[in-house]
Amino acid sequence: MRSISYSEVASALHCPAQHDFAYGDRLAGSSLVERELAPPLERGRAWGATIAAYHQALTYADLIPELVAEAALWKSLREMSEPQRKAGVYNDEQAQELEHRIWGIFEHYTSVSEPLYVVALEGRLDVALPALVGPRSSPYYRFHGYVDARTWESPSYLVEYKLRDRLTPVPILVRQRQVRDYAWAYQKQTGIEIAGVWVDETLNAIPGPARIVQAKRKDQGIDGLTVSHASDQLTTPERYIKACYMYGEKPVGDTLKALKARKWHQRVPIHFRPSELEEVGHELRSAARLIRDLDSGDLYPIRNATVMTCQGCRFREICDNPEDTEVVDALFDREPAKRYRDAA
């Protein structure tokens, strides 16, 4: 049975050529996978495991949430490191650095966010799509994905934990397709009514001390050093004010305003209309039809369908000439197209 995911659907809609390179074999003769000695340690995965365990532990009076979170972080990093250990490329210093970073973000997160009580992690979604013809479920296509957690309320909300280099503007966040696809699949798989999704985004940064710079005047600061008034420094208003008084500086209003305005975390509720999740099923059915036609060759994968996505595309170096096997094989590993992998 052919499985599809949110990532595959997004790829097929944004650029059919990108979809073919990742999931098909019309252009390069096979699907292509970026060559790596071993999978990297994923900060997002480690963060999700840590914060989900913390919120789950909050519901139990006999658990210490911080210890549960620490154990979940260690377990996640251990599981991700196994392929690296087997490949002989495990870097203990790198792993410790990631662990320290995630824990530093976690400590700040718990000081600026409200508790969120969730049930156990639900794991993998695997749901038959609506049939391409008729009201029944499709015997050929399934949707799969992963959810982080679900709240206790009835009706319930799914929870998605995200670690971001930049927090997503709320108008964009509430229009994202992924959370709707997951909510539709979860409701269909479990029969539990889903009223919406909490998207819990955290900035991938640890607040540090105020920035200290070289003083411009001899009578300024201490030992030739003073506090920076740059508004882009990753610190808190409290730490900035403290440093100003330590170095005999007056806090600058614009800097203080910018530091107060910086968002380290946001938790955005996305509510669904009663008919909205039913529409998702129809949309995924249409996406399956598109992927079916790309799989069969009835549709030829168009290159550069959305030029704005080319710069960040991992296949941009071979897109114009995928027949150059020497270059392709130097950059990618080959595997059978997804339609063959699912059939195996």
For 291-329, how does the pLDDT look when each residue is reduced to its tens digit (9 = 90+)? 999 999 999 999 887 777 788 889 999 999 999 999 999
Report the DSSP beta bridge partners of residue 146: 124
Residue 5 has pLDDT above 90, yes or no: yes
Dihedrals phi, psi of 128, to nearest 5 degrees = -70, 135
Q: How many CB atoms lie within 10 A of CB 135?
A: 6
Structure-token pair, residue 274: 């009663």
Q: What is the pLDDT averaged over residues 105-116?
A: 92
Give the pLDDT of residue 85.
Answer: 85
Least confident of 34-48, 52-66, 74-88: 34-48
Cis peptide bond N-terminal to 115, omega within 30 = no
**What rounded mean pLDDT belongs to the chain?**
91
The string of pLDDT tens digits covering residues 245-297 is: 999 999 999 999 999 999 999 999 999 987 889 899 999 999 999 999 999 99
Report the DSSP beta bridge partners of residue 32: 334
User: Which residue in 279, 270, 292, 304 sits closest to 4, CA to CA?
Assistant: 292
Domain residue ranges in the chain: 2-37+297-343, 43-112, 123-204+266-285, 212-263
Percent of the chain predicted with pLDDT > 90: 71
Report the DSSP beta bridge partners of residue 245: none
Report the DSSP beta bridge partners of residue 225: 214, 222
DSSP state for residue 167 in the 8-state scheme? P
Q: What is the pLDDT averaged over residues 164-189?
A: 93
